[in-house]
Amino acid sequence: MLLQHTSGFYNYTGELNADGTFVMGLPSQGKDWVDNRFHTYRPEELVRFALAKPARFEPGTDQSYPNTNYTLALLLIEKVTGRTPTATTATRTPASGR
């Protein structure tokens, strides 16, 4: 469900509603953005932010692209393998020569 974009998770960069209105995620404009523009968000912070918001829909019932899914996939790869996704890919890809 994560990489098929059917999880229903809120997109931490914001969401476009069916009526065309945009609901901001992390600060991307105004004073909040200026105050946080040099903050580097850790993946765990991004996921925590997104999971604090209501789900967009029940998992598997619709499709919506959230960056949150890729961040969760990254964290899952790290948890399961004990390595970064880059290190995991380098050792599991034939073109890597390893």
Residue 96 binned pLDDT confidence (cut-offs 50, 70, 90) = low
Residues 84, 61: Cα–Cα separation, whole Å: 31
Q: Could you tell me which of 62, 58, 39, 35 has the C-alpha nearest to residue 49? A: 39
**pLDDT, tens digit, 9 for 90 and up, residues 56-93:** 999 999 998 899 999 999 999 899 988 877 777 777 66
Round the average pLDDT of the chain to a whole number and report it.
88
CB 98 within 8 A of CB 90: yes
**pLDDT higher for 8 or 89?**
8
Q: Which amino acid is at 68?
A: T
d(CA 12, CA 15): 8
% of the chain exceeding 90 in pLDDT: 55
Question: Considering the entire predicted model, what is its pTM?
Answer: 0.78
